[in-house]
């Protein structure tokens, strides 16, 4: 589904990503583990077109999408739910969600159908639909962010640290929903620092350090790997 | 005239001024909201709008309303051009560069107008010259026209921003630029749309106001200064703030001119700015965010 080959990204003269190669196959839930500053967000921002790659290839179903405009990338089915959510804080939950389907606004029937699906996934959002997104709790805002991304009809969903800053119980809820979204057929690439919880729901994982992939494997393998346990699980 | 009639006259004056200032400030605040550029050239766009309409009405004998649409279209295109040719290339430059460039655009437009029409003061004929009374208040039809026209346009703009998808893209970009790009909104198209609307609003304000005022190359100076006062009061980027701020300045000027002195009319806006900012440093309508 999505394949990165030797992707490099620079901020000025600083190389944030060095020859990153990874892939997520159709139907997979793949997790990217890495400490703060490892380069997870840089990968996502480059795939979704907000950053330009300095080298390498990004392919969606074999078609090169590296360097295209974000609006075209969204249309092609790669939807990015960013770190820090990036909601429209003064707009209602409903408005945030409908704008998520911006590229499909010609198809209002489809938009309403997606909206129902999001409300089914997050029933609390239906109750809060007329409230300003910025007034919700952190967990609810994260739900709006995920919902808004789903409205963009992702073939592959890029989820950047959805559990950041949330209480442990809410983290579990959010990750359960991520798992459900994947089970419903959407390919998911998830960045997480919560290694244990993320590996529990993922099929495969990559570990990234200093802008390089340093390890990859099945979730079960990594879950029992000595180094991973020391560095990311603390057990 | 009885003092109560005079009082109503001041209300009418305040509404007239507030309408014009509000329209100009709206364009300024929309552009500020998405680009964070204080567009100093906005006053020149207002002035160009008046000249284009003047040319269409006086030299070509075109109907006032058609001339207004023509002026709005020309200034909308000028706004878009300034966005494409000047502000877009400076998007990643240090912030002072846009401000200098905006002043450059202002000087350029004024010089072009001076070169074509010279510096004289001109009078634009009013489309309706009769007096019109509503209730006890009698005023030239043009004043009623300004108020009705501006209120209608403000309502239309409000509906456009709130109810249409194209309008929502402007608010979305203002509230979160990255978020807007990630849902597939094309930031440069929204910027062009915003500059077009902003320019058209300035032109319509100028064409509404010109028949009871004068047309000359420096006519935008005071208006734009006041529009800046208004958006600082109303909160940079806030649409309701621009409308309410416009009315506050309009009323303060009209009542100030009448009950204090006409000589101080143009200072009132700035005094009000100092007073309000001493109490509410972030403006009247911001809730301490951003
Ligand atoms: N806009 C930027 N300008 C300069 N450096 C950046 C920028 N964004 C990220 N970086 C740097 O790139 C590296 C990777 O950051 P990031 O991709 O955000 O990591 P992560 O998401 O894994 O925390 C870090 O060293 C960070 O400081
Ligand atoms: Mg990150």
CATH number at residue B230: 1.10.3470
Pocket probe for ligand 1: among A22, A31, A32, A41, the residue whose CB has the most ligand atoms within 8 Å is A41
- Counting ligands in written order, the one closest to the CA of A35 is 1
Residue B259: the pLDDT is 82
User: For residues B264-286, b (16+ Cβ closer than 10 Å) or e, as one string?
Assistant: ebeebbeebbeebeeeeeebbbb
Residue B171 touches chain A, beta carbons under 8 Å: yes
A214 in any annotated domain: yes
- Look up tokens 């007329």; give the residue: A130
Maximal CA-CA distance, chain B: 61
- Counting ligands in written order, the one closest to the CA of A38 is 1
| ipTM exceeds 0.85, yes or no | yes
Residue A148 touches chain B, beta carbons under 8 Å: yes
Of B168, B178, B186, the CB nearest to A86: B178
Is the confidence at residue B285, as pLDDT, over 80? no
Mean pLDDT calculated for residue range B73-88: 95
Is the confidence at residue B1, as pLDDT, over 80? no
Ligand 1 centroid to residue A14 C-alpha, Å? 10
**What crossing angle do the helices spanning B42-54 and B3-35 adopt, rounded to 10°?**
120
Residue A233: the pLDDT is 74
From residue A84, give the alpha-carbon distance in Å to each of A111, A173, B176, B283: 25, 18, 11, 27
Half-sphere exposure of A108 (CA within 13 A, CB side): 2
Q: What is the pLDDT of residues B185-224, one digit of tens each?
A: 999 999 999 999 999 999 999 999 999 999 999 999 999 9
Nearest CA to ligand 1 atom 6: A11
Residue A188 CB-density burial (10 A; 0-12 exposed, 13-18 middle, 19+ buried): buried
Question: B287: nearest CA in chain A?
Answer: A90
Q: How far is B58 from chain A (nearest CA, A)?
A: 44
Of B172, B178, B289, the CB nearest to A99: B172
A66 in any annotated domain: yes
Q: How far is A169 from chain B (nearest CA, A)?
A: 27
Q: Is A49 in the pocket of ligand 1 (CB under 6 A)?
A: no
Question: A95: nearest CA in chain B?
Answer: B168
- Look up tokens 């997979």; give the residue: A28
Q: Could you give the CA distance from residue A133 to residue A140 in angstroms, rounded to a whole number? A: 9
Q: Could you give the CA distance from residue B185 to residue B187 in angstroms, rounded to a whole number? A: 6
A95 in any annotated domain: no
Residue B287: the pLDDT is 55
- From chain A, pick out residues whose CB is under 8 angstroms from the CB of B165: 102, 105
Q: Could you give the CA distance from residue A97 to residue A72 in angstroms, rounded to a whole number? A: 19
Nearest CA to ligand 1 atom 24: A37
Is the confidence at residue B290, as pLDDT, over 50? no
Residue B288: the pLDDT is 45
Q: Could you give the CA distance from residue A6 to residue B240 in angstroms, rounded to a whole number? A: 50
**Gap between the terminal Cα atoms of chain B:** 49
The DSSP bridge pattern shows strands A187-192 and A156-160 to be parallel
Q: Is the dihedral of CA B63, B67, B68, B73 positive or negative?
A: positive
A105 in any annotated domain: no
Q: Residue A45 belongs to a domain with what CATH number?
A: 3.40.50.300
Q: Is A13 in the pocket of ligand 1 (CB under 6 A)?
A: no
Residue A74 touches chain B, beta carbons under 8 Å: yes
Residue B289: the pLDDT is 42
Is the confidence at residue B15, as pLDDT, over 70? yes
Residue A51: the pLDDT is 94
Interchain proximity B182–A79, CB inside 8 Å: yes
A63 in any annotated domain: yes
Residue B186 touches chain A, beta carbons under 8 Å: yes
Residue A95 touches chain B, beta carbons under 8 Å: yes
Indicate the pLDDT class of residue B257, thresholds 50, 70 and 90.
confident
Residue B169 touches chain A, beta carbons under 8 Å: yes
Residue A104: the pLDDT is 95
Q: How far is A117 from chain B (nearest CA, A)?
A: 18
Residue B175 touches chain A, beta carbons under 8 Å: yes
Is the confidence at residue B134, as pLDDT, over 60? yes
- From chain A, pick out residues whose CB is under 8 angstroms from the CB of B183: 74, 99-103, 148, 151-152
Q: How far is A188 from chain B (nearest CA, A)?
A: 16
Q: Is A182 in the pocket of ligand 1 (CB under 6 A)?
A: no
Indicate the pLDDT class of residue B275, thresholds 50, 70 and 90.
confident
- Look up tokens 């440069």; give the residue: B188
Q: Could you give the CA distance from residue B20 to residue B15 in angstroms, rounded to a whole number? A: 9
- Cβ neighbors of B18 (< 8 A, separation 6 or more) are B246, B247, B248, B249, B250, B251
The structural domain count of chain A equals 1
Domain extent, residue B88, equals 3-118+132-289
Residue B77: the pLDDT is 98
Q: Which residues sit opposite B137 in a β-bridge?
A: B134
- Counting ligands in written order, the one closest to the CA of A13 is 1
Domain extent, residue A229, equals 1-77+193-235
- Counting ligands in written order, the one closest to the CA of A43 is 1
Residue B3: the pLDDT is 81
Is the distance from CB of B20 to CB of B150 less than 8 angstroms? Answer: yes
Mean pLDDT calculated for residue range B279-288: 71
Is the confidence at residue B159, as pLDDT, over 50? yes
Low-confidence spans in chain A with pLDDT less than 70? 234-235
Q: Could you give the CA distance from residue B238 to residue B236 in angstroms, rounded to a whole number? A: 6
B127 in any annotated domain: no
Ligand 2 centroid to residue A84 C-alpha, Å? 9
A216 in any annotated domain: yes
The H-or-E segment that residue B80 falls in is helix B64-82
Q: In ligand 1, which atom is closest to the CA atom of A12?
A: 4
Q: Is A11 in the pocket of ligand 1 (CB under 6 A)?
A: yes
SS3 content of chain B, % helix, strand, coil (to 5): 75, 5, 20
Q: Which residues sit opposite A215 in a β-bridge?
A: A207
SS3 content of chain A, % helix, strand, coil (to 5): 40, 25, 30
Residue A152: the pLDDT is 96
Phi, psi of B222 (to 5 degrees): -65, -40
Question: A46: nearest CA in chain B?
Answer: B182
Q: What percentage of residues in chain B have a pLDDT greater than 90?
A: 71
The structural domain count of chain B equals 1
Interchain proximity A71–B184, CB inside 8 Å: yes
């Amino acid at each position: 589904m999505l394949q990165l080959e030797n992707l490099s990204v620079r901020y000025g003269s600083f190389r944030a990503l060095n020859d990153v190669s990874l892939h997520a196959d159709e139907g997979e839930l793949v997790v990217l583990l890495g400490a703060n500053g490892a380069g997870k967000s840089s990968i996502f921002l480059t795939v979704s077109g907000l950053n330009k790659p300095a080298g390498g290839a990004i392919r969606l179903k074999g078609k090169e999408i590296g360097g295209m405009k974000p609006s075209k990338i969204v249309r092609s089915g790669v939807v990015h739910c960013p770190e820090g959510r990036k909601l429209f804080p003064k707009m209602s939950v409903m408005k945030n969600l409908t704008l998520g389907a911006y590229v499909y606004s010609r198809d209002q029937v489809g938009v309403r159908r997606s909206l129902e699906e999001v409300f089914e996934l997050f029933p609390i959002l239906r109750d809060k639909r007329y409230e300003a997104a910025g007034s919700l709790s952190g967990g609810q805002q994260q739900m709006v962010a995920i919902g808004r991304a789903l409205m963009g009809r992702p073939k592959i969903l890029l989820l950047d640290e959805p559990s950041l800053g949330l209480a442990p119980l809410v983290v579990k809820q959010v990750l359960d929903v991520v798992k459900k979204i994947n089970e419903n057929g959407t390919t998911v690439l998830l960045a997480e620092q919560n290694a244990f919880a993320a590996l529990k729901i993922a099929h495969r994982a990559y570990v990234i350090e200093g802008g390089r992939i340093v390890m990859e494997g099945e979730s079960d393998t990594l879950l029992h790997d000595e180094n991973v346990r020391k560095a990311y699980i603390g057990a | 005239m009885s003092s109560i009639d005079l009082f109503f006259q001041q209300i009418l004056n305040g509404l007239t001024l507030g309408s014009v200032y509000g329209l100009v400030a709206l364009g300024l605040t929309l552009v500020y909201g998405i680009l964070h550029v204080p567009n100093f050239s906005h006053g020149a766009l207002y002035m160009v709008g008046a000249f284009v309409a003047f040319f269409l009405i006086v030299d070509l004998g075109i109907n006032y309303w058609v001339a207004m649409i023509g002026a709005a279209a020309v200034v909308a295109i000028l706004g878009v051009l300034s966005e494409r040719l000047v502000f877009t290339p400076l998007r990643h430059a240090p912030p002072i560069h846009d401000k200098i460039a905006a002043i450059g655009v202002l000087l350029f437009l004024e010089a072009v107008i001076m070169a074509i029409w010279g510096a004289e003061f001109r009078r634009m004929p009013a489309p309706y010259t009769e007096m019109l009374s509503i209730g006890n208040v009698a005023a030239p039809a043009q004043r009623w026209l300004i108020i009705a026209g501006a209120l209608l346009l403000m309502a239309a703009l409000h509906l456009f921003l709130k109810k249409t998808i194209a309008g929502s893209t402007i608010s979305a970009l203002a509230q979160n630029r990255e978020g807007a790009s990630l849902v597939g909104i094309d930031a440069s198209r929204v910027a062009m749309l915003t500059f077009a609307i902003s320019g058209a609003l300035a032109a319509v304000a100028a064409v509404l106001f010109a028949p009871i005022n004068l047309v000359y190359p420096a006519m935008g100076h005071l208006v734009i200064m006041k529009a800046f006062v208004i958006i600082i009061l109303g909160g940079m980027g806030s649409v309701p703030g621009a409308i309410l701020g416009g009315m506050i300045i309009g009323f303060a000027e009209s009542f100030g001119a009448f009950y204090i002195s006409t000589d101080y009319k143009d200072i009132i806006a700035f005094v009000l700015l100092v007073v309000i900012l001493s109490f509410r440093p972030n403006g009247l309508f911001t809730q301490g965010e951003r």
